[in-house]
Amino acid sequence: MIDKVVATFDEAVADIASGARVHCGGFASPFNMPSYLIAALARLGADGLTVASTSAGTGMANAQQLREQLAPIVAWPMDYWDPGLLAELGRIKRLITTFPVSTGHARMWPFEAALERGEVELELIGQGSLAERIRCAKAGIAGFYTPVGPGTATAEGKEVRDFDGVPHVLERALHADFAIIRAWKADRYGNLVFRGARTFNETMAGAARVTIAEVDEVVPLGDLAPDAIHTPGVYVQRIVVRPAAPAQRWEDPC
């Protein structure tokens, strides 16, 4: 019998070893972040991680400021943790991202501070190339030529080749050991349905040896219509359900 549902978040991430490569989904909203998986990974203590994520994450203190700023229009959940938490705890060795630093001078993100201290490595890449590199890993494509990057730092050290007179950069597939993603509904086969912008959550599913999906709900097999499934379960190895009663304190994920 196929049943990919795992009982706890700690169990779901238990075999993520120090030095692992981890793809982390979510972006631009507190409602698409695999927050409980990130918190569990923080509790686990694995360090020296190579993480790929759209953004370095604001970290918890900055998220609290955003929560307060947005309070008049949106109830930002208390159970929000992003990759900034892992950076804050010194667990990230290398980050592959499009958005490593805060936008203003007033506040600094944890990864940015670690970068200033010279403790971490950054591989900066645009979102389109990051997304396609990850999709390639999922799809078994070794690499691709993109017109994005020639003449900029992104192309340094990479093959540049002309196609019909337009320079293209060779970008390689980006594989990982684990992908941690967030979805809405799942069944025991690991079939997934997302809610809202699917971000890297959909892109990363299947781009790692083990894909772990944090979901709001597991429904009986057959409840998800074949036409409505976004990600087939073959890309997903583990499913873990978010708590019915959300954690009320962002201050203590560990």
Partner 1 sequence: MLEPPRLDAAVMAMVAAREFHDGAVVNLGIGLPLACADYIPEGREVILHSEHGLLGYGPLAQHPDEVDPYVFMVGNRPVRPRPGMVFLSHDESFAIVRGGHIDVTVLGGLQVDTGGNLANTHVPGKIAGNLGGAPDLATCAKRTVVLMYHTARDGSPKVVERCTLPLTAAACVNRIVTDVAVIDVTEGGLLLREVAPGWSAEAVQQVTGATLVIAEDLREVTIG
Residues that bind partner 1 (CB under 8 A): 27-32, 54, 66, 70, 72-75, 98-101, 103, 105, 112, 115-116, 122, 124-132, 134-135, 146-154, 194-203, 230
Q: Which is nearer to partner 1, 205 or 212 (CB)?
A: 205
Helix (H) or strand (E) holding 131: helix 127-139
Tokens for 45? 């203590």
The least distance separating partner 1 from the CB of residue 76, rounded to whole angstroms, comes to 9
Alpha-carbon gap, residue 10 to 200, rounded angstroms:
22
Q: Residue 161: beta bridge partners?
A: 168
C-beta of 200: minimal distance to partner 1 in Å?
5
Task: Residue 213: name the closest of 193, 227, 196 by CA.
Answer: 193
CB of 30 to partner 1, least distance (A): 8
**Considering beta carbons, is residue 35 or 98 the nearer one to partner 1?**
98
* Nearer residue to partner 1 within complex by CB, 89 or 113: 113
Instruction: Give the Å distances, CA to CA, from 244 to 100, 102, 110, 114, 214.
Output: 33, 32, 30, 35, 13
CB of 47 vs partner 1, minimal distance in Å: 22
For residue 153, the 8-state DSSP code is: G
* CB nearer to partner 1: pick between 183 and 239: 183
